[in-house]
C-alpha cells in the first residue's frame, strides 16, 4: 500500500515536516508512506496556468496522489485556520478541474498536525473538511492527532523524542492504513 504524506509548511525546521518523517518511519509493515512538502509550488495564477500549464512540482504531487492509495495532510495552523500556502498547493493539485476526481475523488484522506501552541491544530483540521468535501475525498474520521507544544516533542534535529506522541502517531498511522485497506477491498 502506498500513502502520500504532504507537509503543508515551508519552514526549514517545520514541526509538521518532522511529524511527517516520523510517521514514515512508523508506518506499518506493507505500507510505504511517501513524504513530500509543498516547497516549489508557486502561488496559483490562472494566467500562469494558461501560459505554462501545471508547474513541475505540482505535477509531481498530483502524480503521486493519483498513484497513492491514500493521502495524509500534515497541516500547520495559522490564525486559527489552515495555512494559505498549503491550501494553494491543494488548489493547484485540483487544476484543471477535470482532474479533481482522479486526484482526490473518493481518495481516503487523513489530516493531522503539529503546533507550538497549546491547542494543536484542531481548527486547521476542521477547516480542511469543507475543502475535502468539495474535492469529493473520503475523509477518515477514525482518529485525530493534534500535536501541541511541538517544540518539546521534537529535538533540535527534528527527531521525535516524546514517547506518548510517538505511540499516538503509530496508532493514527495504523488506523488510517486499515481504513485505506478496507476501502481498497470494498
**Listed residue (69, 59, 62, 72) closest to 26, CA to CA:** 72
pLDDT digits (tens, 9 = 90+) for 126-152: 999 999 999 999 999 999 999 999 999
pLDDT digits (tens, 9 = 90+) for 97-123: 999 999 999 999 999 999 999 988 999
The pLDDT of residue 186 is above 80: no
Domain count, the chain: 1
Rounded distance, CA 109 to CA 5, Å?
10
**Listed residue (24, 5, 2, 6) closest to 68, CA to CA:** 2
CATH number at residue 70: 3.40.50.360
What predicted TM-score, i.e. pTM, was given to this entire model? 0.97
The pLDDT confidence band at residue 184, using thresholds 50, 70 and 90, is: confident
pLDDT digits (tens, 9 = 90+) for 23-72: 999 999 999 999 999 999 999 999 999 999 999 999 999 999 999 999 99
- Compute the CA torsion angle 19, 22, 28, 32 (nearest 10 deg): 80
Containing domain of residue 53, as a range? Answer: 2-185
Amino acid at each position: 500500500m502506498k500513502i502520500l504524506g504532504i507537509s503543508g509548511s515551508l519552514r526549514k525546521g517545520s514541526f509538521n515536516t518532522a511529524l511527517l518523517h516520523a510517521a514514515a518511519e512508523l508506518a506499518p509493515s506493507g505500507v510505504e508512506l511517501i513524504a513530500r512538502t509543498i516547497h516549489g509550488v508557486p502561488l496559483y495564477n490562472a494566467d500562469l496556468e494558461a501560459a505554462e500549464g501545471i508547474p513541475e512540482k505540482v505535477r509531481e504531487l498530483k502524480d503521486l496522489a493519483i498513484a497513492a492509495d491514500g493521502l495524509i495532510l500534515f497541516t500547520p495552523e495559522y490564525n486559527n485556520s489552515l495555512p494559505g500556502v498549503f491550501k494553494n498547493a491543494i488548489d493547484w493539485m485540483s487544476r484543471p478541474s477535470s482532474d479533481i476526481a482522479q486526484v482526490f475523488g473518493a481518495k481516503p484522506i487523513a489530516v493531522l498536525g503539529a503546533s507550538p501552541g497549546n491547542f494543536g491544530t484542531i481548527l486547521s483540521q476542521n477547516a480542511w473538511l469543507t475543502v475535502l468535501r468539495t474535492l469529493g475525498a473520503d475523509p477518515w474520521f477514525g482518529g485525530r492527532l493534534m500535536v501541541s507544544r511541538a517544540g518539546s516533542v521534537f529535538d533540535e534535529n527534528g527527531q521525535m523524542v516524546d514517547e506518548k506522541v510517538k505511540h499516538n502517531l503509530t496508532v493514527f498511522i495504523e488506523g488510517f492504513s486499515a481504513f485505506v485497506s478496507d476501502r481498497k477491498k470494498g
